[in-house]
Structures are given as structure tokens and as C-alpha cells.
Chains A and B, each alone.
Chain A
Amino acid sequence: MRRSRSIALLFMAAAPIALTACDDSAKKPTPVGSFASPAACRESGQFTDEQCNAALRDAQAQHETRAPRYESREACEAEHGAAACEPRERNGQSWFMPALAGFMIGRALSGGGMMPSAPLYGSASCGSGLGQRACASGSSGAAGGFRTATGAAVSPGVTTMPAAAAASTVQSAAAPARTASSTFNSVERGGLGTRAESGTMGPTGRGAAASAGEAGS
């Protein structure tokens, strides 16, 4: 393997990364779209017909291996909604997994590059415990949102959130959102990332890089 076959970026391309909330560049939209069908994808105006169809095909190809697996239909439906799950059996093992409900599509870097894509699954309505958690941590706050294969809550349509927030939309919904008061007595911040910014390195010769506020090289 001497050269990468194709290069595509899911959320980075055209999405300036800024971690400081006051930075205006953080308000530019990200290019990630989540759709139930190629038609919805096309109607967004962000992707061509061909790209939408290719993304769906790619998501279908990834589905069998990447879909989350559950021991019971009940557990699967609790996450993905009623009647959304199918049984599977292979090599003497059986499980339930959600049916493909949509696909995620990113923006290719240039002509010729593959559009990155990923399968999406249904999300249980905001009534039950698990579904509620997904709704609370996801951005949509409404039934009909998607889950990624790893459980992230994703809202339909083209994401138009700041990059940092976009990253949070692909956070796992599986981990409960704890609050400091319920889990920890106290949380401190600011105890990391101070040395390279202050440039107080001593005789380590990092002055040049440090004064520019960079840690990498």
C-alpha cells in the first residue's frame, strides 16, 4: 500500500475548527449531511444526485458489518424504535440489529475523491429512558433523528453548526451526560495547556515554538 486509495473528509473540510466560542470562524457551517433518502439528500442542494446515490450504496455496503448488535429485539427497539430491528444469524450466533434508516455524507476534497459516508439508524422517540437520553444529548431534540453506528445522535439535514458543536453531535449518546453535582464533588479546569502558552520552559530550547503558542512541530 504505497498511496491512499481515496481521500475524503467527514466533517473537517470547509469547517473551520475553532475551539474558542468568540471566534467568528466557528460559525461557518460544516458540510456533513444526514438523510433518509437520496431524494432528501439531493433536495438539500449541497450534493449531486450521483453523490447522494453513491453515499447510500456505500452506507448499505457498510451496514452489515457496522450496525450495532443487540442480544434481544427489545434492547434493539429501545434504542432504535419499534419495528426497526431485524434478526440475524451467523456461525451459530444470533443477534438483532437495526435496519438501515439513512446515511451520512461528507464533502469530498476535490473531483475524483469519494464522498465519505456512513450508515445511520433510527432513534427511539423521546419517551423512554434511553431515547430520552439520546434526545437530550443530541441536537435535534425531536423524534425522527438518527443514530450513527456507534450511537451518536444526529439530526436530519445538513448540519450547520459551528465545528466544535458539530463534533459534539457525533458524540456517543450511550454515555450518560452526568453533572458535576451528581457524580463529582468538584471539577477544576485550566490545569493543562499553560506551559507552552506562557513560554516558561526554562532551558529546554522551546522558546521559538512557545512564543508562537504552538505545541506541535
Chain B
Amino acid sequence: MQRRPGYARDWQASAARANFDFRRADGSMWWDESAYYALTMDEVDEIEAATTAIEQLVYQVVADAIEQPPLLRALQIPDWAHGLVRDSWRGQERHLYGRMDFARGKDGSLKLLEYNGDTPTALFEAAVFQWEWLETGKQTGALPRDADQFNSIHDRLIEAFRMLGSREGRWTFAALGSSAEDLGTVAYLADTALQAGQDIQLLAMHEIGLADGRVFVDLQDRPITDLFKLYPWEDLLREDFGLAMLRAAQAREIRVLEPAWKMVVSNKGLLPLLWRAAKGHPNLLPSYFALDVEQGRAPSGWHGGKGIVTKALWGREGAGTSIWLGADDRPPRATPADAPVFEPGWYIDQAYSELATFDGQRPVLGSWTVAGQAAGLGIREDSELVTGGNARFVPHAIVG
């Protein structure tokens, strides 16, 4: 993998045509094509194989976890929601998409940092905008004519919605009305559903109605039978309509994407579960629940001496993550800046792995799954150790 200088084009005009909002609220750039990552076909094959292998491992871990209440409790999934998660998995509810974040180690290894299984974003950039960047580059001769990209996300999303179907021919897409990024993601997903022959409508989360305390309805008071929500299950269940949603989803009166069993996958607690199921797997980093580390249930020296990364079970965009570098077995239990207190039960510890740097940047390889299949790659880079809200999306091409 190499980081190469990008080619010059009026990409802001392309962005405007695609209605792609490339700036954050503070005006800084989120899309960056001043550089791109050049991968070989072998490297892409490796990422695809790792994604496929971990997806299978994830199914095994979920199937195991839903039968064991103590494991679900370790994920901080409350007891009253265990039945929902269990039925959702046993009923083989289909899922749509997810993003595994991998990193290249300095030693050339490919390690899973985490799996965003419930509400991943940066989807449009990966599926559409970097695809357009590649096509334009090939047409203008800025990129080799035989350049390729690991990216069938768009085609697979449309195919996935064809397979999913819907009860009344209509999917309702909901997101927080205040987030441009989230709205862009659901608008794009809705577009793929439309192209799959589904009718669509977009709602803000707060517009979803609850009729007679029992039936979820849209703004015309029509029952919502198929709902895509870009909103974490763990938040949804704790809200005013949470119990009604639990009941309706469990009774299959409403189908929700992602399905409830994804609560196990989107949770950082998945990482220790994966490690326990496949200790020593070449694509996994040693991981334990922080509570197990605190109480001496992790083997001594489990992290290999380079350091420990502590992650909140439900941390998103790097939130609740702290890194401690050193050989000592005792991680610093400093209170993360964005949490009121450090409660080990809400965190996991992952062995620190030294990432390969490219021009001082640390790229995270977001490997997308659609309907459980490896579907494409989207790379975000950050000069910081934790890939957070300041990361930039950088396109990739397969060359050579």
C-alpha cells in the first residue's frame, strides 16, 4: 500500500453535483483527494479474505452470546432486551450493512480495530464519490486505464434491498434531523432502495409516531412496517417509545434495519468475544473486558507489552477511547474526557498495535459488508493515534 499524490480536478463541482457535503460544521474538509492510497490486488484480496473470515466468526460469536445472559450483560445489554436480541437472531432477521475497521501494523499485519455493525456512516463517500473519483481519473488519463477499486457497495445495496423486499412495498428511513452526515447517509440508502423497486420515505426520528401506544406510524398515520433507522439500538430502547419498539419488533409487527441482533456486533464487547472464540487469529488483536482485566481474569502480559487501548462499549467516532503506552500491566484508569466517571464495566481493553504510517498519516481501512458479503473499501486517515472526528476520507485505487 502506498500513499500517492492525487490528481488535480474541480472536485468541488463534482461534490456539488452529487450534493455531497464535504465540509464539517466547523468548515474543515472531510473529503481529501490531495492524496490517494494505491493498493495491489493481493492486498485487496487479503482485506476481502479477512473480512469474510471475521464475518463468519462474528456469526459464531453472536449465536453463542445470545444463549448466555451473562455475556449479554457484559455487553451492557439490559436483561429486558435479551429476548429481543435472541429472537432477532433465531428468526434469522436479515441485515443490510456494516463497516469493519482494519489497520495495517508496522509489521505488515492486518488487524481488526472494531466493527461498526449498527449505524456506520461514510458510506456515500465510499460507495459513490470515490467511485466517481476513479472514473474521472481514468477518463482524463490521470489514473492508469486499468486502475480498479474494491467497491461494489452500490450494486450490492440495490441487490440487498431487492432481496429484503418489504411488507407493503415501502421502506421508511429515519435519522436525526440535526445531522447532515446522518441525513446524507439515509438519503443515499433510500436512493438504493428506490432503485430496487421499493417506495421510500424519509423521516426525522422524532417524527415517528406511536399510535395508541402500540403501532408505529408515519406522518400520515400509516403503520410503518419496514424501518431503517440510523440510530443506535442501545439509545432507541431507552427512550420513551423504547419499550413499544421492543414489543413491536419482537412481535414482528415492524421490521427494523439493522436488526436487533446487531446490538452484539456494534458493541466493542464484540472484540473480547471474538478474541475468546479465536485466540491468536491473525486479524485480531488481544482484547478483554476491562472488568476482567481489573479483576485479574486476563492472563498476565496479555497485551504484549506495547500498550493498551481502552474503548467504551458504545463509543462511536473514537469517543470514549484512551491509549496508554508502556510495558506495565496496569493501564491508567484516567476518566475519559467525555465520560463522567470511569466504570470498567462499560469498557474493553485492546492490545495496542503500532500502526504503519504513510507520510505521517495513520490510515484506517474501512471494509464494508453488505448483506454479510465483503463489498468494498473506504479509507479514513488521521495524524492522531485515535481516528476521531477530524479524520479525512481519502480515495483508493487498485493499481499493479
Does B240 contact A191, Cβ atoms closer than 8 Å?
Answer: yes
* CB of A66 to closest CB in B, whole Å: 6
Does A163 contact B187, Cβ atoms closer than 8 Å?
Answer: yes
Does B187 contact A17, Cβ atoms closer than 8 Å?
Answer: yes
Does A110 contact B132, Cβ atoms closer than 8 Å?
Answer: yes
For A20, what are the chain B residues with a Cβ–Cβ distance below 8 Å?
A: 177, 204
Check B220 for interface membership: any CB of A closer than 8 A.
Answer: yes
Check B194 for interface membership: any CB of A closer than 8 A.
Answer: yes
Q: Which of B52-60, B62-70, B104-112, B228-236 interfaces with chain A?
A: B228-236
Does A183 contact B149, Cβ atoms closer than 8 Å?
Answer: no
For A203, what are the chain B residues with a Cβ–Cβ distance below 8 Å?
A: 312, 339-343, 346
Q: Kindly supply a per-residue 1/0 record for chain A positions 1-30, scoring 1 wherever the CB is within 8 Å of any chain B CB and 0 otherwise.
A: 111110111111111111110000000000
Given contacts A14-B19, A186-B211, A203-B340, contact A196 B235 (CB under 8 A): yes
Find A2's partner among B148, B169, B183, B245 (CB 8 Å cutoff): B148
Check B275 for interface membership: any CB of A closer than 8 A.
Answer: no
Q: How many residues on the A side are at the interface (Cβ–Cβ under 8 A)? A: 78
Docked CA distance A174–B225 (Å): 14
Does B200 contact A170, Cβ atoms closer than 8 Å?
Answer: yes
For A213, what are the chain B residues with a Cβ–Cβ distance below 8 Å?
A: 176, 178-179
Find B120's partner among A183, A201, A204, A217 (CB 8 Å cutoff): A217
Interface of A is mostly: loop
For B205, what are the chain A residues with a Cβ–Cβ distance below 8 Å?
A: 192-193, 215
Q: Which of B28-36, B84-92, B281-289, B313-321 interfaces with chain A?
A: B313-321
Instruction: Please name the 5 residue pairs, one residue from A and one from B, whose CB atoms are nearest each other, closest first.
Output: A205-B320, A205-B312, A193-B205, A207-B338, A191-B240
Show the binding face of B for A, using Cβ within 8 Å.
14, 16-19, 25, 44, 76, 116, 119-121, 127-128, 131-132, 135-136, 139, 148-156, 168-170, 174-179, 181-188, 190-191, 194-195, 197-213, 215, 217, 220-222, 230-232, 234-236, 238-241, 244-245, 311-321, 336-343, 346-347, 388-389
Show the binding face of A for B, using Cβ within 8 Å.
1-5, 7-20, 66, 107, 109-113, 116, 118, 148-152, 163-164, 167-168, 170-172, 174-180, 183-197, 201-210, 212-217
